[in-house]
A and B are shown apart, each in its own frame.
Chain A
Amino acid sequence: MSNNLRLTIFIILITIVSFTCRFWQLTNYPVHLSMDEATIGINAYSVLETGNDEWGFHLPLAFKSVGDYKPPVNVYLTVISIKIFGYTEFAIRFPSAFIGTITPIIVFFLLLELSFSPTASLFASLWLAVLPWHIHYSRGGYESVTALFCLIAGILFLIKWFKTHYLYQLVLTVIFLSLSVWTYHAERLLTPIITIVLLYIYRLDLKLKKYSKNYIIGFFILCFFAVPFLNQALFSPAIKARVETTSFLHDPRLTNQLSKNFISNQYKIINYWAGKYVDYFDLKFISWQGMQFTPPEYPDVGLVFLIDVPFLLLGLYQLIKSKNKKLQQITWTLILLGPLPASLAMNDQHALRALTWLPAFIILMTFTFEYLKYKLPLLCIYFFLLLINFAYFFNIYTIQSPYYFSEYSQYGFKQAAVYACQNEDKFKTIVFSDTFGSLGPLNTGLPYLYVMFYCQKDPTINNHAQVAKYEFRRPDWKHDMNKPNLLLIATPWDILNDKIPENQIIETIKFKNGHTAFVLIKT
């Protein structure tokens, strides 16, 4: 069997593994559509049917949505997906799951381009195919998976361009890197920096004079993507709003420390940010608790498998010993810059925002596989332990995480919304509580999103007209009980001190841990 054929077979096998991990029961895990997924679906369906988003803006480049101005790429990908699969949960999750499935393949080609052997590159692709960090975000319809794919593809074609200088490589580089910027916020910072560093590392291969025509073409394509982006950054609230809501500079833990002394403030800001940045280099976060599938201090899953810790250290050792200077520079760049965007945001140790760090881990693991590829017993032991770790992740992901955190996936809204839609005609008004969750009465959800999605409301009709029958507010039993023909979708907080006659309770919707999510009451 020729080497190429063998490689192709292995690539197909890895794709099957990757596909299975991402598409198996896609609509059941995560257990419920998140608010982001619902918004993406609603906007994509609206664009498909009317050409406008839910606010009536024609083909927008930032979706205002619930005020968070979503980047457009995933929404437009979902438009295609809805066109093919219909307006369903599967269609909303399909684009990320599909891109997540093919990411290990593009990673394989990148690793080859970085001078790793095909065997080590295949092992690394397989590792990525079964990695919980990537699987979870691929299944959950997250934009960061698409952005990561675009970033990796962009780097791949850029390195190819430096080696062979075909015009199509430069064109694809510019397209993919630009798309990554348009797909997720973290890449807006990371992609330009990584591109500049790569241009510096490969400065001798640029050959600006020889390929000046190609560079001019590349520049015009770049302008096509960059000009609207700059326009958005400077003249619309899209990026400004996002920065204001997520920047660490607005974190109360920092702002409470600041005084009127300018120098002292600068020191405190740098100190605070550096602490957040360094916080990502925590082995417990990386190997055991990063994904937060279970409550704190419960067994959990990290960004990588626990068994990977010694192998990552081995990879780091191999990196330090490596004589390939360019590869060393690229890897250090990815290691150091990976957590940078996440560290500038408000939350601590955020696995989703840190997804930009994943290429660094992939390369470190490839260094390990490069070293282990002829040490068959060690390799077998590693993959056996990996299998056990994967089985553990499977248990956590399919049993423990739904049990502990179903409410964080907005579990319950679907059942409530579906009941409301199916019985809309039976009630004069449907009052849907905007309080949500078991933590307290002040936590809120966005029930209208789920009503819009599960009731398959027609986007050509004005939003308000579609949900005219609904009131999104906390039910007040003492007041509402006197109104005839009402459906109250209440949380336990709304009826804490009220005694509801049992014959008026239609249904109780529970979270996966048995706590009550909603009580459906008729008057």
Chain B
Amino acid sequence: MRKLLFILIIIQPFFWKYFILNIPNTISEYRKTPSYISSQIKNIFSENNIAPLKEMRWNSRNENQELTGHIFYNKSTQLIREFTNSLGRLAPQRILFGDNQICWFLLPAIVFGFIKVFKTKPMIVVLFVLSPIITVITGQPTTLFLIPTLLFYLYFAAKWFQKQPPKFIIPYFLILIIFLAFNVK
């Protein structure tokens, strides 16, 4: 399982892009994490983020629903927005098709692996859903801060491959590598 996961990681575009070819940039980005967190704490309730909520509260007030406006459009709504943004970062479209962070040819393996993991270890799926929270805390929705999510995706795929016979895995990986080569930009 670990070997499979390792192989899956090292053949992915994101690994080469961030951990082989641009490692100094990656390190410097990670080093900025504390400053990202502090600026995100300042920004989260900044005027820019709160303006739509104020506007919606104003609209409610104009329609004589001031109380509902206060209940539904406040700072907690902003936190919910951030949470839903993090849910959006789980989207397979973004991970598999967006910037080709993981090759989409792995999609069936990820789906079957997800079902398998969900059946046996549902808590891992809960952690997976929470994994993009780092992007919320840092305010950086970039691939580098989505690495935990990407690793979950690959973990699901590896879990599925684990039970497959080598005569299936080897051709699958060969096709996968061809796909990756085809996708190199």
Q: Which of A149-157, A194-202, A280-288, A468-476 contacts B (4 or more CB under 8 A)?
A: A280-288
- Pair B93/A288 contact, Cβ less than 8 Å: no
- Distance between B127 CB and nearest chain A CB, rounded to angstroms: 12
Chain B residues 93 to 146 lying within 8 A of chain A, measured CB to CB, are 93-94, 96-97, 104, 107, 115, 118-119, 122, 125-126, 129
Q: Does B168 contact A (CB under 8 A)?
A: no
- Given A278-B92, A283-B90: A399 and B52 within 8 A (CB)? no
B56, B80, B125: which has the most chain A beta carbons within 10 Å? Answer: B56
Q: Is the interface of A mostly helix, strand, loop or mixed?
A: helix
CA A484 to CA B118, docked complex, whole Å: 75
Chain B residues 51 to 69 lying within 8 A of chain A, measured CB to CB, are 52-53, 56, 59-60, 63, 65, 68-69
CA A285 to CA B119, docked complex, whole Å: 25
CA A267 to CA B97, docked complex, whole Å: 13
- Given A271-B104, A299-B52: A284 and B93 within 8 A (CB)? no
B93, B96, B122: which has the most chain A beta carbons within 10 Å? Answer: B93
Contacts of B91 in A (CB 8 A): 278-279, 281-285
- Given A289-B84, A299-B56: A391 and B68 within 8 A (CB)? yes
Contacts of A275 in B (CB 8 A): 93, 96-97, 104
Measured CB to CB, the residues of B under 8 A from A are 52-53, 56, 59-60, 63, 65, 68-69, 71-73, 77, 80-81, 84-85, 87-88, 90-94, 96-97, 104, 107, 115, 118-119, 122, 125-126, 129, 182
Q: Which of A23-31, A102-110, A313-321, A362-370 contacts B (4 or more CB under 8 A)?
A: A313-321
Contacts of B125 in A (CB 8 A): 313, 317
Please, what's the 1-or-0 string for A363-401, where 1 marks a CB less than 8 Å from any CB in chain B? 000000000000000000000000000011001001110
Please, what's the 1-or-0 string for A398-433, where 1 marks a CB less than 8 Å from any CB in chain B? 111001000000000000000000000000000000
CA A288 to CA B126, docked complex, whole Å: 19
Contacts of B59 in A (CB 8 A): 399-400, 403
Contacts of A306 in B (CB 8 A): 80, 84
- Pair A317/B60 contact, Cβ less than 8 Å: no
- Pair B129/A313 contact, Cβ less than 8 Å: yes
A289, A306, A400: which has the most chain B beta carbons within 10 Å? Answer: A400
- Pair A321/B119 contact, Cβ less than 8 Å: yes
Contacts of A278 in B (CB 8 A): 91-93, 96-97, 104, 107
Contacts of A395 in B (CB 8 A): 60, 65, 68-69, 72
Contacts of B85 in A (CB 8 A): 284
